[in-house]
Structures are given as C-alpha cells and as structure tokens.
C-alpha cells in the first residue's frame, strides 16, 4: 500500500500541482489509515463502508475533531478514486460514504479601525522593520492574501505602475489582485529603507525578509500580526493573519461586491467556500439591528 500511496502523491504533485504542505497532509492522513489497516490485519482490497466506518470511529475515540476526520476522509476518498481510475481496483468501494456534518464556523474578523491601529502601532515604534510589519498587515487587509502567499511574494510579482500583485495560490493557480495607495506607500518605504539593510549585500527575489535576510516564514508573520494586535490593545484570541483575509472579504461584501468577484480575489476554487462570508454578513445585520433599533 505504501507504493500506491507514493504513486498517488506523485499524481497530486505533478498533475494536480498541490503544494508541499498539502502533500504532507495527504501523506500523513493516508499513512494513518494504512497503519490502521495493518493493525486490524487488513489491506486496501478489504476496504468497504464498514471498514471505513470503523476507522472513523477510531479517529473519534482518539479525539480527532470532526474537521480533522473529514479531512482524513477526503484524502482516503481521493486515494480510492485514484486506484479505481488507474485500474488497480475494479470498483470504488467507498464512493458513496458520507462525511460528518460540520457546524458553520464563522471566521474571526477585525474592523478597518482595528487595522489602522495595528499599522499605527507598527509605524510608531522603533523597530528596524516597522515598515515591513506595517506593509505586511496592510497588504493582508487590502488584498486578502493567504499568509503563505504573502511570504512567497517576489519582486517581479509586484506591479507598482498598475498597483496589482500576481499571486500564485493553492494548486499553483495564478490570480491578479489589486492593492491601494496606502499599501503602495508602506511597501515602498519598506523596500527603500529597510530591505537593503536586511539583505546585507546579498541578493534575493523575495519581497518580505526576516531579520536574518531570509524569506519571512508564516510563523514569523503570525508573530508580527499578534504583536501589532497587542500593541494596539486588540484581543487576539483566535485571530492571526487569516483574520485580515476574512476582514478583506467581509468589507468587500459590506460594500456591495459581487460574491463571484470576491471568490476570484480570494483564490477560492469553489463558490461554496466564499459563501461563508454571507453568513457573517447576516450576523452583522442582526447585531446592528439589535444595537440600534428601538424595538429590538
């Protein structure tokens, strides 16, 4: 089964263009399933709905979250579709196996005023990378980039003349995202005043660098956002770089943007993923009504 998993991962990498992080997640989930089969003296040819049900029950016993269980199930489904398509199996034994129903988790967001305070907290400090930190926060808020997309951004992908970014997202899919004048000012300040000092004579095509002159990692970006929230007096529980992406989407929808346009800007492959923000809009409407209407 290990050879078949390797063949499936090669397919995901070459033909589907999945990222390294996605491949690692697939490998981890499928290896967990393979270990389970081995522990119960079964092979992939023995898998059916009952066996898969036993595996999901095992995951629940070891306290895997419903979302984690569904992710694992998705990896197994994809693996067996691959085996069927390649002729390894004559039929897909789990094609109709249902996933777990998940509650709708509304994403955490910030307000535009919160973001202004965070940027102000960065710029007003004495950090040697204050413009870097401020431009990171502003770009996350004004473009809706994922943390990994911001960290991977290169100089040729930034067009100051037209003010847009060429972003390579999940699965190697490219999209064009505009950015505003404020983001341009902060980014230019970082590129001109701080980035050369971080490079220390070295060369790099990556936009955002660490204090050591290496590519800024997602963990460091998380720390930048958390630190800015703390300085601005904003409660940061459950909030990180992704909260700025959520805020980007909800602000666009609040202003009347079409859901399909928001989907394109966020780089979502399915409109269903973007529709979570319509639930957030409904919650805002109810909160506003209860707060301001005299009959609420």
Catalytic residue IDs: 146, 170, 242, 245, 268, 277
Tokens of 230: 């703390």
Distance CA 182, CA 131 (A): 12
Distance CA 277, CA 272 (A): 10
For tokens 């290896």, name the residue. Answer: 31
Q: What are phi and psi of 19, to 5 degrees?
A: -75, 165
Q: Which residues contact 43 (CB under 8 A, 6 or more apart)?
A: 1, 37
> Residues 208, 146: contact at Cβ < 8 Å?
no
Q: How many CA atoms lie within 13 A of 39 on its CB side?
A: 10
For 64: left if phi > 0, alpha if psi spans -120 to 50, otherwise beta; the answer is beta
Distance CA 11, CA 82 (A): 9
User: Rounded to an integer, what is the distance from CA 71 to the centroid of its chain?
Assistant: 15
Tokens of 218: 């997602």
Q: Which residues contact 11 (CB under 8 A, 6 or more apart)?
A: 82
Q: Which residues are registered as beta bridge partners of 164?
A: 159, 178
Q: Which residues contact 72 (CB under 8 A, 6 or more apart)?
A: 29, 32, 33, 59, 64
Q: Which residues contact 109 (CB under 8 A, 6 or more apart)?
A: 243, 246, 247, 250, 280
For tokens 């492959």, name the residue. Answer: 269
């Amino acid at each position: 089964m290990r050879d078949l998993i390797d063949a499936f991962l090669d397919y995901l990498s070459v033909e589907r263009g999945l990222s390294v992080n996605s491949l690692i997640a697939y490998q981890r989930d499928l290896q967990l399933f393979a270990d389970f089969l081995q522990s119960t003296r079964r092979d992939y040819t023995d898998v059916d709905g009952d066996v898969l049900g036993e595996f999901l029950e095992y995951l629940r016993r070891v306290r895997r979250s419903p979302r984690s269980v569904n992710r694992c199930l998705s990896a197994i489904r994809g693996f067996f579709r691959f085996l069927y398509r390649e002729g390894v199996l004559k039929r897909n034994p789990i094609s109709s196996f249902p996933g777990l129903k998940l509650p709708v988790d509304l994403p955490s967001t910030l307000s535009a005023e919160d973001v202004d305070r965070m940027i102000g907290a960065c710029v007003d400090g004495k950090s040697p990378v204050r413009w870097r930190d401020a431009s990171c926060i502003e770009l996350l808020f004004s473009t809706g980039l994922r943390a990994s997309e911001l960290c991977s951004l290169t100089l040729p992908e930034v067009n100051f003349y037209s003010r847009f970014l060429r972003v390579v997202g999940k699965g190697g899919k490219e999209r064009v995202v505009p950015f505003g004048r404020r983001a341009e000012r902060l980014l230019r300040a970082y590129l001109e005043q701080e980035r050369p000092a971080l490079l220390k004579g070295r060369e790099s095509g990556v936009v955002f660098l660490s204090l050591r002159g290496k590519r800024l990692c997602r963990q460091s970006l998380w720390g930048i956002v958390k630190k800015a929230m703390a300085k601005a007096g904003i409660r940061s529980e459950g909030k990180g770089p992704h909260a700025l992406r959520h805020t980007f989407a909800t602000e666009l929808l609040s202003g009347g943007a079409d859901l399909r346009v928001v989907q394109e800007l966020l780089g979502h492959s399915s409109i269903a993923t973007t529709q979570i923000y319509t639930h957030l809009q409904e919650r805002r409407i109810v909160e506003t009504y209860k707060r301001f209407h005299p009959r609420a």
